[in-house]
Structure 1
Amino acid sequence: MSELKVIYLGPACQEQGKIDGREWCQDDVWDACECGHESVRYVLGSELNRVTAERDALQQRLNAADQRIDELEQDKARLDALDSNCWDVRFNSSPNGDAGDSSINIEVVGHWMDKPFERVIGENYSENLRAAIDQAMTAPAYPPARPEYPEPEPDADADWHMNPCKQGHRDVGASGGVAACNQCDEKIEAATTEEAFERWNATHPQQ
């Protein structure tokens, strides 16, 4: 940050009666007066604004650097977890129905000595590898075959009948926040299974 430019005004008692006003200098050259008056340190408002703006810009850069360090430390922890646990990362492609595109599903797979020898301990359906690894890092020591997603119990009287997919397949179902066809992999993702189910039926008329 650049230096702040200042000037000093002579003591008021020594400057009284001068036609040209008080003398000023870039250094404090006046001796202290017996009456107690001292020279006055003066900073231009434009100078103060300039230095304040420089300080704020430096603080923003420091905040961004701190955030970047935190992100790098989190990524290092993820890589360490993959390395120390010998986890596999698998990418699976699923077609998006009639959209003519595919989505990438990510799985983090752990290995055990007892069956099942391979278990999916982290997964993500939004192509977010970091989220899948984070889920694996918080998985219990002996997880089930796939991660569990706690959801409120559905109403026993609710109608959970799903309409066929856009290709007419009736082998459809909903779980884990995903409503999908088990034959063509057409799917709809949502925050909850019930929401995915409702969105599926809203976009798939009965046949």
Structure 2
Amino acid sequence: MAIDEFDDLEARYDFLTTQRRDLEESIKATGDAIARINRTTRERFRDAFEAINTHFQDTFSTLFGGGRAGLVLLDETDLLESGIEIIAQPPGKRLQNIQLLSGGEKALSAMALMFAIFRYKPSPFCLLDEIDAPLDEANIGRFVEMLRGMQSDTQFILVTHNRKTMEIADRLYGVTMEEPGVSKLISVQLGQA
């Protein structure tokens, strides 16, 4: 019986040894795949970050009519976990963190970043809800020009009350109240020149 028991245990040992080897190889292959994915992700993030930062600098300068801005990684050693700081210098002001800007400047800076991302990777459509509300007339004009320049790649759906922003639309949809308490939906197809 000892020989039969030995044969059974040896077969079990061989089976478990093979299973352990397969498991160790799987762990190593998974580790290699994770390292490769992280390497690729770092490269893609770095490329995207640099491109978006370049677009952001250009877009910021265009929307503000001057000035400069940029994106800064908080931890260059760990790209995948690093935070990003937005630095902005509107014309006539000193370079500072975006949190120190006025409400309108923050809104315009956020638009510059959004448009920079869209310039890097356009989306088929974008919904903007009252994005132009904090802007004055001069900034609205630059904002509208930026939208015009991006209309070939992205369809923008805007919720706005601003007349200048409405002027660039192909179609207008709205709600009117012809009688007190009775809302009516209207749509207007605008001719393209």
TM-score strictly above 0.5 = no
Larger Rg: 1
More helix by share: 2
Query: Which structure is higher in RCO with an 8 Å CA cutoff and minimum separation 6?
Result: 2
Please report the TM-score for the alignment, with normalisation by the length of structure 1.
Answer: 0.30
